[in-house]
Structure 1
Amino acid sequence: MKVWVSLNSHQLLEKWHQNDMPAFDFAQDRLALTGADDFYQQDGIVTAVFGKIFKVNSPKVPTGLFDAQIVAHLYRNCGDDFVKLIDGHHLILLYDIIRDFIVIANNKYQASNGYIWESNDILHISNSLESFVKHNDSCPPTTDWKAVSGYLSNGFFMTERTILDGVKKLLPSVIVTVDKGTVTWCNHAAISFNRVAFSNVDSQIDRYEGLYRAGIETFLEKERPQELGCLLSGGHDSSFAFIQGTKVFNKPIHAYTVSFKGWKFDEESYAREISNKFGGIFHPVPFGPQDLDWTVGMVRAVEEPVVSSSLPIYVLAKKAEVPAMLGGDGGDTLWGEYYPVVEFHRF
C-alpha cells in the first residue's frame, strides 16, 4: 500500500470544473494510489480502504455494499464525522474532489502499519519505511539520531517518531485531513481510563473475559477462517488468549509452540498442558541453529526495531499452516505491567 497525496491541486480543481473531468482521472492526477483492498469512485468522491471494515455503527447503511462504498455512503449521509462510525482493521482514504478535501484515517487498534511524510508539497503515505527511501531518490529522508538515541534508552521509538527524520507513524485513531492544501491532525477515538471502585472481583473478571471473547468473535465473523491457531507459550497472556478462543471457535484450535530441545529454558511442557486441557491440537516447532537464517527475513518484515522482536515467533508464523492466529503479545501493557492484577490480589 502506497499513497502519494499532492497538497496543491487548485489548477487541477479548476480543470475538473471546466472540463467535467471524471473523478477517477482527476484522482489519478491528485493521488498516486496503489494496493487498496477496495476502491470506489462516483460523483466526485473517491474512497479506498486498506484492510477490512468489521462493523458500522449506523442504521443508514444499506446491505450489500463493499467497504469502499460504505465509506462513501457514510460520508455523504453523516458528514466529516463518518470515521467515528466505522470499526475494523483498516486505513481509510477519502477524497472529495469538489471540496478539495482529503481524509486519511487509521483504525483504533494499530492493526495496520502506516507512516506519513510531508515533503516538497507531497504527502507520502505508506505501510513500509523502505518506500520512503526508494521512491524519494532526489531528497530521501535522513536518519533521526535523536529518535535512535531514545530507542536505545527505552527499547522503542517514542510516540509517532521513527528512525527516519520527519517520517511519522500513523498512531491508532489518527485522522489526517488535507483541506485545500492545509494539513491537520486529530484523534477520532480517544480512550479514557476511569477507575471505578467495585466490590465483586469475580463479576469484573467475567465482564473482562466477555469483552475479550466478543473481540475474537468480531474478528472471526469478518475473517471466517476455516482453521484457527494460537502462538502458545504456556504463560499467562498467550494461555488466556488460547482459552478464550476455545470458547468461541467451533473447532479445536492449533497451538504452536517453539521447542528448544536441550536448552535450559524450554516452555513446551507448559504449552502442551494448556493445549491438552482445553482440547487444542498441539504443534511443537523445534528451533535450532539453522533457523538463525530467518533473521534477515524478520528484520525486513519488522523494519522498525523493537526490543521484543522475536525470531522464534517469526519462525512459528512462517511455519504454521493456518490462516489466522491468536497471540498474547501486548498483555503486559494491557494490564499496565500487571499493576491491576496486584490490586486484585490485594483486594
Structure 2
Amino acid sequence: MAGLTIYIDKKKDDKAHLLKKIVRVNIIQSLKYNENYIIGEKFICYYCYPDFIHENKLAMIDEHIIIFEGEIYNNDELNKILNNKYLTTVEIIYHLYKNYGTKFVKYINGDFNIIIYNTLNDVVLFTNDRFARHPLFYYQTDDSIIIASEKKSILACLTVKPSLDYVGMLEVFAIKHNVLGRTFIENMFSCPPGIVFCCTNGKLIKDLYFNWYFSPARKVNKLSLIDEIYEELVRSTNVRLKDTNRTIILLSGGHDSRSILCALDKRKRGKISAITIGEDDSLEVQIARKICQTLSVNFQQEKISLSPSKIAHIGTWRSEFAVNALSHPFMSFHHDMKKYGDYILSGLPGLDTLNGCYIDPRVIVRSGIPKISYDLIFSYYLVLHQKILEMIFKKKFINDVFPQVKDEFIRSLKLIEAENKLDQYDIWYSVERQPQFSHMADLVDMDLFSYIPPYTDIKMHEIFMSIPTKNRMYKQISLNMIYKHFPEVRKIEYDSGRGIVKQNNTIYDYLKYGIKIKTYNRNYKKSNFWNFFDALNHDTEYHGDIIQIIDGSSELSDYVFNLDGIKEILKNEAFPRRQLIIGLLLTFVNAYKYLVMNNSNSIPKQVQEYYADFYSPESA
C-alpha cells in the first residue's frame, strides 16, 4: 500500500521489530514502491508510496519529523510568504509550523494528511484537509499512540487482539458508513476534516481550524455564480494537471466528471483517457462515448469481470470495512487503467458533496416544522431498516446496539451549527458521509494510482459555501454550469441523481438557450452497469465465505449474527435489498477474517496473487 505510519510510546527500546510488522502488511511483493523510515528509541516513522511519485514526503528537520501525504496546491504562494523560492513540501510545512504554530494549516490549500512529531518533548501533531480527502486513523493507549493512513498498519503494531466496536460495525450496515470518527475496531478512530490533533503527555487535544458554514446574507445572481464556479474549476483542473502525468478520468453519465473533462484545456484533452464501466447496452457507456467523441478524448469501455467474492476479498483488504467494498469494483480493470495512467482525475469530493443529495431535500426543509424531527431524517437516511436488520442480526444485539446507532447519528447532526436544517444536513453530509467514500476510493486504488480532485480547491469551496440554501439545493449548479459554458456537450443526456427533470423545475430558466435539458434517473439501467444478479448466480464462493466465518466465531454466532435469517436471505432472490446485504456481509466477514483474526499480520494470498502480474513483461 501507499501511506504513512507513526508509532510513539514511552519505552526506550529497539523498534526494528515493529518496522518488520508494518512492512509485512504494506508491501505487495510484485509492486514498485518508494520507502522511507526513521527509527528512534521511542518512535518509528514509516512512509511508503508508489514509484511514480518521486518527492520525499518524510523528513527530519532539526528535532522535528515531518510526514506529508497528498498534494499542496499553493506551494508558490507559501514560498512567497516564507520568503524562499526553493523549499520542498516538507520544508514548507516545517517553517509554517515554526512561524504559526498549530494555526499553520490554515494557510495550506490542498488535499493532505500531515504529521509533525517533536522528538525532544514527545509532542505529536496530526491533521488533514477540509474534506478529509485521505484516510487517517489513530489508536491511543495509556503508553502509546499510533497514527496511520490504514487500519492494518495500526493493527500490526498492537500487542493485543483487536476488539469489535459493535456500534461502528452496525453503522455500516444501517446507514452505509460510520459517524463521529468511529470504526468497526474498538478504540480506533478516523480523523474528521478540519481538525488539528495534538497529543502531549498522553492527552489528546483537538483544535478546530476550519468550521463549515453557509453565508445567509449574500445575494447571489445565478449567472454570475455559475461564472465564478466555472472559472475556478477551469483554473483548479488545469493547474493540477501536469503535462508529464499519465492521467485517466473515470467518466460517468453525471455532472461532476463531465464538467472536469470539459474544463480541461483543449490541448490537454488529447492526453487524457476516459474510462467508463458498463455492458454494451449500458446507457452510461453510450453517454460517455458521445462525450468523448465530441471532446476528442480517448474513450475506453470496461466491464466488471471479477466475481463478487473476489472483489470482496481484495477490496476489503484495501478498503478495510469503511463502506461496502462492492461499491468500488474498479479493480476488475486495474490492469487496463494502469496502461493509460498513474493519476486519476476525480470528481470526488465534488459538487454533489456540497449539494447534499441522498435524502430528498424537501424532507429536510419540512423538518424545520416541529412535527418533523431528527428521527424522521434518521429514518430516511437508513439503507436497511430495523425489521431487515433483525433478519441479519440477533434480536438482543439489535436491541442493545441499534438505539446507540440512532443516538450517534442524531448527535452527529446536532453537533453541526447552522441556522436551518438544510444547511445543517449539507454540512453534515460533507463532514460525515463523503470522506468515507473518498477514503474507499483512495485505499482501493492507492497502490497503483494517485488521485487529482479539483473540487477540493478552497477557492471553489468558499464560493459554494456562500450560496443561499434554495439556490444550492434546487438549481443544479453543476448542470447549469455545463449548460452555459460547455455548449458542445449540452445536448448529450445526463444520468442525474436528482431524477427526471419536470416541466416546473427551475432548470428551465435555461430554455432561453433553446434546448430542453434531458436527464435520466441514476437507477436507469443499473444491471447494465454491472449485472450483479448474474454475477451472484455464477459465484459459488460467497455463501460459504459468509456462513463459514460467522459460524467459526463464537462471538459472531452467539451474540451478533442471526445465521438462520442470513441463510434465508441468501436463498431468497426476491428478498428486499438482497444485493446490498450480501455486499455488506461479504465485506464485513472478510474484514473480520483479515484484520481481526489475522494473527500473522501479513497480506493475504489472494491479494498478493491479484497484484502478481502488474509488472510482468506482458503488462509492462
Shorter-chain TM-score: which interval? Answer: 0.7 to 0.9
Equivalent residue number for residue 42 of structure 2: 30
* Cα shift readout 1:49-98 (whole Å, capped 9, x = no counterpart): 23333324541241222222222222233333222222333222223344
Q: What one-letter code is carried by the residue in structure 2 that aligns with 1:314?
A: M
Contact 1:295-1:311 within 8 A present in 2 as well = no
Aligned CA distance change for structure 1 residues 309 and 203 (closer, same or farther; 3 Å): farther
The answer to whether the 8 Å contact 1:61/1:74 transfers is: no
Residues 318-329 of structure 1: pairs in structure 2 closer than 5 A:
318-320=335-337, 321-329=340-348
Q: 1:201-220 counterparts in 2 under 5 A? A: 201-220=222-241
Instruction: Quote the residue 2:107 is aligned against.
Output: 85
Aligned to 2:259: 240
Equivalent of residue 299 in structure 1, options 316, 325, 330? 316
CA–CA separation in structure 1 for the residues paired with 2:83 and 2:201: 29
**2:279 is matched with which residue?**
260
Secondary structure of 1:159 counterpart: coil
Deviation at 1:283, TM superposition (A): 0.8
Distance of aligned partners of 1:47 and 1:202 in 2 relative to their CA distance in 1, 3 Å threshold: same
Tell me the distance in 1 between the aligned counterparts of 2:272 and 2:324.
Answer: 29
Query: Counting helix residues as a fraction of each chain, which structure ranks higher?
Result: 2
User: What SS does the aligned partner of 1:267 have?
Assistant: helix
Q: Aligned partners of 1:210 and 1:343: how far apart in 2?
A: 19
Tell me, in whole angstroms, the C-alpha distance in 2 between the residues paired with 1:9 and 1:289. Answer: 46
Q: Which runs of 5 or more structure 1 residues have no equivalent in the other structure?
A: 11-25
Q: 2:132 aligns with which of 94, 110, 129?
A: 110
What CA distance in whole angstroms lies between the structure 2 residues aligned with 1:43 and 1:246? 43
Distance 1:152 1:290 in 2: 21
After the TM superposition, which of the residue ranges 64-73 and 160-169 deviates more from structure 2? Answer: 64-73
Letter in 1 for 2:110: G
Please state how far the C-alpha of 1:238 moved relative to its aligned partner: 2.4
Counterpart check, 1:69 vs 2:91: yes
Q: Would you say the 8 A contact 1:61–1:70 is kept in 2?
A: no
Larger CA deviation: 172-181 vs 286-295:
286-295
Indicate conservation of the 8 Å contact 2:126/2:197, yes or no.
yes
- Local SS of the residue matching 1:158: coil
Larger CA deviation: 253-262 vs 332-341? 332-341
Q: Per-residue deviation at 1:9? A: 7.8
Structure 2 CA distance for aligned equivalents of residues 218 and 317 of structure 1: 26
- The answer to whether 1:53 aligns with 2:65 is no
What is the deviation of 1:34? Answer: 0.7
Quickly say closer, same or farther: Cα 1:214–1:160, change in 2 above 3 A: farther
- Aligned: 1:130 with 2:152: yes
Q: Distance in 1 between matches of 2:326 and 2:238?
A: 28
Deviation at 1:199, TM superposition (A): 5.3
Report which of the two has the higher share of strand. 1
The partner residue of 1:3 within 3, 6, 13 is: 6
Secondary structure at the counterpart of residue 299 of structure 2: strand
Question: Counterparts of 1:283 and 1:69 in 2: how far apart (Å)?
Answer: 40
What residue is the counterpart of 2:581 in the other structure? none
Question: Which amino acid in structure 1 is aligned with residue 59 of structure 2?
Answer: Y
For 2:327 and 2:265, the matched residues in 1 are separated by 25
**Residues matched between the structures, number:** 327
User: Which residue does the alignment assign to 1:20?
Assistant: none
Distance in 2, Cα, partners of 1:97 & 1:292: 45
1:291 shift after superposition: 8.3
Q: 2:226 is aligned with what amino acid?
A: I
Q: For residue 292 of structure 2, what is the aligned residue in structure 1?
A: 275
- In structure 2, do the counterparts of structure 1 residues 325 and 39 end up closer, same or farther at CA, with 3 Å as the change threshold? closer
2:474 to 323, 327, 342: 342
For 1:101, the equivalent position in structure 2 comes to: 123
1:333 lines up with 2:353 in the alignment: yes
Residue 218 of structure 1, CA deviation: 4.0
Give, as a single letter, the amino acid of the residue that structure 2 aligns with 1:49.
F
**Residue of structure 2 equivalent to 1:140:** 161
Cα pair 1:213 1:248 within 8 Å, conserved: no
Q: 1:244 to 1:313 in 2, by over 3 A?
A: farther
CA distance in 2, matches of 1:209, 1:253: 20
SS at match of 1:214: helix
Aligned-pair CA distance for 1:343: 4.1
Which one-letter code corresponds to 1:271 in the other structure? A
Give the superposed CA RMSD: 3.0
Q: CA deviation at 1:192?
A: 1.9
Partner SS, residue 215 of structure 2 = coil
Deviations 1:165-192 (A, max 9, x none): 1111012222111234432112222232
Q: Is the alpha carbon distance of 1:247 and 1:100 closer, same or farther for their aligned partners in structure 2, counting shifts above 3 Å? A: same
Whether the aligned pair in 1 keeps the contact of 2:135 and 2:149 (CA below 8 Å) is yes
Distance 1:266 1:314, change over 3 A: farther
Does the Cα contact within 8 Å between 2:270 and 2:296 map onto a contact in 1? Answer: no
Partner of 1:154: 175
- Contact 1:254–1:280 (Cα < 8 Å) also in 2: yes
1:286 aligns with 2:313: no
Q: For 1:215-264, what per-residue CA distance to the aligned partner results, in whole angstroms no more than 9, with x for missing partners?
A: 3234325xx543322111222232223222356836442111113136xx
**Paired residue for 2:617?**
none
In structure 2, what is the Cα distance between the partners aligned to 1:156 and 1:35? 27
Question: For residue 207 of structure 2, what is the aligned residue in structure 1?
Answer: 186
Matches within 5 A, 1:159-174: 159-174=180-195
Q: Which amino acid aligns with 2:332?
A: V
Native 8 Å contact 1:174 1:185 kept in 2: yes
Q: 2:250 aligns with which of 203, 228, 231?
A: 231
SS, match of residue 35 in structure 1: strand
More RCO (CA 8 Å, sep 6+): 2
Percent identity for Structure 1 against Structure 2: 19
Q: CA deviation at 1:143?
A: 0.7
Structure 2 distance, partners of 1:269, 1:31, is: 54
